[in-house]
Amino acid sequence: MHSSAGSSLLGVPLVSPASCRTPAARGAAVTPVCVATPTRPPSTRPAKLSKVETIKDQSDYLRHPLMEEIASEAATNINEAAAQLMKFHGSYQQDNRDKRTSGKGKFYQFMMRTRQPAGLVSNQLYLVMDTLADKYGNGTLRLTTRQTYQLHGVLKEDLKTVFSSVIKNMGSTLGACGDVNRNVLAPPAPYKNRPEYALCDQYAKDIADLLAPQSGAYYDIWLDGEKFFTHDMESPEVTAARMANPFGTNFEGSPEPIYGNVFLPRKFKVAVTVPGDNSVDLFTNDLGLIVITDPATGELQGFNLVVGGGMGRAHRNNDTFARVADPLGYVPKEDIFHAVKAIVATQRDYGRRDDRRQSRLKYLVQEWGVDRFRTVCEQYYGKKMEPFQAMPAWVYKDFLGWTEQGDGNLAYGVFVQSGRLKGDMKVALRRIIERYELPVRLTPEQNLILCDIDPQWRNDIIHTLQSAGVRDVPDVDPLDRLSMACPALPLCGLAIAEAERGLPDLTKRLRALMSSLGFADTEAPKVRVTGCPNGCTRPYMGEIGFVGDGPNS
């Protein structure tokens, strides 16, 4: 078993003793002989750990020096080590390049990102986020490609107020960034009469809970040690599965039973969907789950799993690349949490920790091949995975416009260009959501769905939105409807070109070009724009992808 201190940092990768047991002890036909990566440099010359690994190891499970830096009034920023730890708590330190002043250097502020499994947002949390944006942010809210909020422009002195407000109003930011499982996607389908979609929502939440950091550092820093429980606590099955350790997935006695003291080598992304619905861009995720139900009864049977997707790459570095996930296998419903843990443990123990550009799961799957990866996962899982079940063709859905929920109520999907809620649109949406006490869903395409609408409210909602200049879905150019852009400049530290601010002009020019070539106004390719090659809007899966390469390039 692992020690309470976690894996050793003396070499790379962190190899689990469980992966080196004999077949008799493991109950498996094939056992890897410490098949660790990287293969170069050789084990006689252990690779040097990346700087972030040392910061994690010395942080006391994400506490220090972040706790001290947040409390300090000596500067408007936090130091590099604290900034790395801050990501795990759901925030990035940023420099607003548009507000830099001569002789004063960087203009520091923070972006806070929420954790919203399946994009579900209560009425209470929506209103709180809207208020926080006006009071402590830059007056806008950003809807992300992973069904979360981003709140930009928060000053260091306001961080504790903003974080504690989110936590105390049924929200969380824990694990929204950092080397852990990120927000879990699910189709934003608003149906109340389609049980397979309800299963997606349930398992998105359950897996988010299963893989959430456990040490308590989050509450120590943002609530001064008070652990705040919402009504939506994790299920007993999730708690039991997290602590179960029959095949070496866990660090026994550790505050972080799955992650240990150095967490994962890199971020880990999960999506859940139903057969045929690719609204979540399933194959771009580290791990994708496909709900398999009984055709006759609709009851859950199990899950197809895909692994090894990811978008990030680096310019002029051919060792980095975007990759789509491979089918891994099928697991019955009662084993799904153990299978997820097995996949995460394989990445934790064998993913590279010397080079962060090579640390995502996709590189491990690419180097090993999916069969070898499956064999190692099965050592942690404790049994063979079943064959991947046949799937129907995949279809893209955005759920915009009016939808019957199946319970007598309606849902209305609102197009939000680049996910930026601002100005009259933001005011109108708050008025509607507050007046009718509506919950909402955030979509993987940066849009928003108003849910639980009584049909008699329909005309008032449309009138309120149109009065604010919000286009009804039939009036939105399909080029805009199918486009996405990341925030990029001026806030993202990785951006080297415009994206969100350049998208409206780009689609306008593209429409003019297409019209001159005889395309109908209803025809449009899927366009995705990023200000750097990391690919937050998944441009490599677009029909046309624009990836920032430099100023105006």
Per-position DSSP letters for 241-252, written without gaps between them: HHH--TTS-SBT
With a cut of 70, say whether residue 278 has pLDDT above it. yes
Give pLDDT, residue 3.
38
Give pLDDT, residue 152.
97
Give the pLDDT band (50/70/90) at residue 232.
low
Give the whole-angstrom CA distance, residue 418 versus residue 436.
26
On whether the CB atoms of residues 230 and 212 are closer than 8 A, the answer is no
With a cut of 70, say whether residue 118 has pLDDT above it. yes
The amino acid sitting at 31 is T
Q: For 74, how many CA atoms within 13 A lie in the half-sphere containing its CB?
A: 5
Give pLDDT, residue 46.
64
What pTM was computed for the model? Answer: 0.91
Give the pLDDT band (50/70/90) at residue 207.
very high
Give pLDDT, residue 23.
30
With a cut of 80, say whether residue 41 has pLDDT above it. no
With a cut of 80, say whether residue 22 has pLDDT above it. no
CA trace torsion 305, 326, 197, 486 (10° rounding): 130
Tell me the mean pLDDT in the region 69-80: 96
With a cut of 90, say whether residue 29 has pLDDT above it. no
Tell me the mean pLDDT in the region 29-57: 61
Tell me the mean pLDDT in the region 487-504: 92
Give pLDDT, residue 44.
52
In degrees, rounded to 5, the angle at the alpha carbon of residue 100 between the alpha carbons of residues 96 and 103 is: 150
Give pLDDT, residue 16.
38
With a cut of 50, say whether residue 42 has pLDDT above it. no
With a cut of 50, say whether residue 488 has pLDDT above it. yes
With a cut of 50, say whether residue 285 has pLDDT above it. yes
With a cut of 80, say whether residue 37 has pLDDT above it. no
Average pLDDT, the chain: 91
Give the pLDDT band (50/70/90) at residue 168.
very high
For 479, the 3-state DSSP assignment is: helix
Give pLDDT, residue 129.
98
- 482 compared with 36, residue with greater pLDDT: 482
Give the whole-angstrom CA distance, residue 80 versus residue 373.
35
With a cut of 60, say whether residue 10 has pLDDT above it. no
With a cut of 90, say whether residue 196 has pLDDT above it. yes
Tell me the mean pLDDT in the region 280-305: 97
Give pLDDT, residue 102.
58
Q: How many CB atoms lie within 10 A of CB 482?
A: 20
Q: Which residue has the tokens 């094939």?
A: 30
Tell me the mean pLDDT in the region 409-432: 98
Tell me the mean pLDDT in the region 192-217: 97
With a cut of 90, say whether residue 188 has pLDDT above it. yes
Tell me the mean pLDDT in the region 350-367: 97
- 301 compared with 2, residue with greater pLDDT: 301
Query: Could you give the angle at which helices 336-350 and 361-368 cross, rounded to 10 degrees?
Result: 80
Exposure letters 444-479 (e unless 16+ CB within 10 A, then b):
bbbbbbbbbbeeebeeebeebbeebebbeeeebbbb
With a cut of 50, say whether residue 40 has pLDDT above it. no
Round the CA-based radius of gyration of the chain to a whole number and report it: 23
